[in-house]
Amino acid sequence: MRIQLSAAKVHNDFIRKVEEMSGQDLLKCYQCGECSAGCPAAFAMDLLPNQVIRLLQLGEHEAVLKSKTIWLCAACQQCYTRCPKGVDLSRIMEAVRDLLMLEQGDRIVIEKLPAETLAEFPQQAFISGFRKYTA
Amino acid sequence: MRIPYYPGCTLSTKAKGFDQAARQSFAALGIELAELKTWNCCGATFPLSRDNLLDLVGPVRNLVSAAAEGDKLAVACSTCFNVLKRSNLVMRNEEDKREKVNFFIEADYAGSVQVLHLLEILRDEVGWDNLAKAVKKNLADLSVAPYYGCMFLRPPKEMGFDDHENPQILENFIRALGAQVADYPHRAECCGNYIAAFDLETTKEMSYLILASARKAGADLIVTGCPLCQFNLDRWQQDLAMKHGGFRPIPVLYDTQLLGIALGLDATTFDLDKHYVDPRPILAEKGLI
């Protein structure tokens, strides 16, 4: 993938908001890959957790917004716990999700969830899910 | 001893057996878990965006209720425990957020309550030795895999619950009950959490890794302290057995159910029949029910 860098792009408005909402300094990450190694959902992701940070460092947030990775992060905090630089990636994922949903609307339509799912899953799954998939 | 107790939404609905076993077991150990007079759902997730104060309202209202009834709050569900404990730390340590949340809910709360998980109460108030003395059944022939999931332990700086890479509290609990501990590497891996309700195929595989790892370690059953972990691990095992040849389904119990059984309590109110992988055959085989 060819990427053109510029100061304006690297410090773009979206990236600034992600840093503000998450309270995380994206440039702390030096790409060791510990987050991707420990992530239990990485096998199903199109972008690995460390790639999400790398793309955001380069101002390439459009690629992150299109990926399913941000919706597969369950905030288990394994990555944050093991990060040698103390970067809380789950906070970054949450900021990206929230900013995207504020612009494009909720990820899920609650009324469209299958009746059997609603009847069977524990309440906890919906409350968490609604908080993560709606803004 | 009487400790104010927060059951939470799932323990009052889908996981009543977890709640019943907790109350009865603690009563047998001389501790009354006194349900808060007023409580609401904790929100089931701790808000990770810095500007999201609204999601702190639910948990903090519970903490305010708890403060009116004592200086401790006992919690059974590890997700509620995580949310309440982290929200409490915000109220204790972050002045700006404390002021705003207090203003919004018309309270004056500064994080005074100590949020305690039931396992901590067993460890610190009862003590493992005393617990071992209270055990009425012989579990020596039972191999139990402890499953922590995420919420007990992480983030460790805030939860301060146990060593996050090598936790021991569930192991010590299992040993105090007289059972054997099945040591396996996936005990603190995430089961998929709420993602299961929206992307089931991914989380089934996440659960499978945990279940297969516990089986490989020779476990007869798994214990956990989270209703969503319990559901995710328990629910799809028939499908997983069809997909992964050689996998034998393994029952997933709540920690309090195993506690109640070990204490010799009548397990008929523990809802063992509501589990998807029936735990009763193995418990009967080991002479425990």
Tens digits of per-residue pLDDT, B36-68?
999 999 999 999 999 899 999 999 999 999 999
ipTM of the complex: 0.95
Please name the helix (run of DSSP H) or strand (run of DSSP E) that holds residue B74, with its range, or none: strand B72-75
Q: How far is CA B47 from CA A75, B104, B115, B148, B223, in A?
A: 10, 17, 18, 21, 27
**Three-class SS string for B18-64?**
HHHHHHHHHHHCCCEEEECCCCCCCCCCCCCCCCCCHHHHHHHHHHH
User: Residue B161: what pLDDT?
Assistant: 82
DSSP label at A107?
S
From B151's Cα to the closest Cα of chain A, the distance in A is 7
User: Residue A2: what pLDDT?
Assistant: 83
Tens digits of per-residue pLDDT, B201-253?
999 999 999 999 999 999 999 999 999 999 999 999 999 999 999 999 999 99
Tens digits of per-residue pLDDT, A3-49?
888 999 999 999 999 999 999 999 999 999 999 999 999 999 999 99
CA atoms within 13 A on the CB side of B129: 0
In contact, B82 and B161? CB cutoff 8 Å: no
How far, in Å, CA of B22 to CA of B130, rounded? Answer: 17
The mean pLDDT value for B276-288 works out to 98
Question: Nearest by CB to A129, which of B8, B55, B197?
Answer: B197
The mean pLDDT value for B263-268 works out to 97
Tens digits of per-residue pLDDT, B2-19?
999 999 999 999 999 999
Best mutation target among A124, A132, A133 (most B Cβ atoms within 10 Å) is: A124
User: Residue A3: what pLDDT?
Assistant: 81
Tens digits of per-residue pLDDT, B124-140?
999 999 999 999 999 99
- With 0-12 / 13-18 / 19 or more C-beta atoms within 10 angstroms meaning exposed / middle / buried, residue A130 is middle
What is the token pair recorded at B17?
A: 């057996």
Q: What is the CA radius of gyration of chain B?
A: 19
Mean pLDDT of chain A: 95
Nearest to B252 by CA among B278, B270, B271, B273: B278
Number of compact structural domains in chain A: 1
Q: Check CB contact under 8 Å for A128 and B193.
A: yes
Q: Does residue A132 belong to any structural domain of this protein?
A: no
What is the second-level CATH architecture of the domain B136-285?
3-Layer(aba) Sandwich (3.40)
Q: Does residue A71 belong to any structural domain of this protein?
A: yes
Find the CATH number of the domain harbouring A95.
Answer: 1.10.1060.10
Q: Does residue A35 belong to any structural domain of this protein?
A: yes
The residue in chain B having the minimum alpha-carbon distance to the alpha carbon of residue A68 is: B199
Question: Nearest by CB to B55, which of A81, A131, A133?
Answer: A131
From A9's Cα to the closest Cα of chain B, the distance in A is 23
The percentage of residues in chain A with a pLDDT greater than 90, rounded to a whole number, is: 93
Q: Does residue A24 belong to any structural domain of this protein?
A: yes
Is the Cβ of B87 closer than 8 Å to some Cβ of chain A?
no
On chain B, the residues whose CB falls within 8 A of the CB of A44 are 199, 202, 205
Q: Considering only CB atoms, which residues of chain A are within 8 Å of chain B?
A: 20-23, 40-41, 43-44, 71-72, 74-78, 80-81, 88, 90-91, 94-95, 98, 108, 113, 117, 120-129, 131-133
User: Residue B258: what pLDDT?
Assistant: 98
On chain A, the residues whose CB falls within 8 A of the CB of B206 are 40-41
- Output the furthest CA–CA distance in chain A (Å, rounded): 51
Binned at pLDDT 50, 70 and 90, residue B272 comes out as very high
Tens digits of per-residue pLDDT, B70-89?
999 999 999 999 999 999 99
User: Residue A135: what pLDDT?
Assistant: 86
How far, in Å, CA of B252 to CA of B241, rounded? Answer: 15
Tens digits of per-residue pLDDT, B138-168?
999 999 999 999 999 999 999 998 899 999 9
Q: What is the CA radius of gyration of chain A?
A: 16
Best mutation target among B45, B77, B275 (most A Cβ atoms within 10 Å) is: B45
Query: Hey, where are the domains in chain B?
Result: 2-118, 136-285
To the question of pTM greater than 0.95 for the whole model, the response is yes
From A74's Cα to the closest Cα of chain B, the distance in A is 6
Assess whether the previous peptide bond of B155 is cis (omega < 30° from 0): yes
Q: Does residue A110 belong to any structural domain of this protein?
A: no
On chain B, the residues whose CB falls within 8 A of the CB of A77 are 150, 154-155
Please name the helix (run of DSSP H) or strand (run of DSSP E) that holds residue A71, with its range, or none: helix A69-72
User: Residue A4: what pLDDT?
Assistant: 86
User: Residue A115: what pLDDT?
Assistant: 94
- With 0-12 / 13-18 / 19 or more C-beta atoms within 10 angstroms meaning exposed / middle / buried, residue B117 is buried
Residue A21: which domain range? 7-104
Q: Check CB contact under 8 Å for B197 and A121.
A: yes
Q: Does residue A118 belong to any structural domain of this protein?
A: no
Is the pLDDT at A1 greater than 80, yes or no? no
The residue in chain A having the minimum alpha-carbon distance to the alpha carbon of residue B232 is: A121
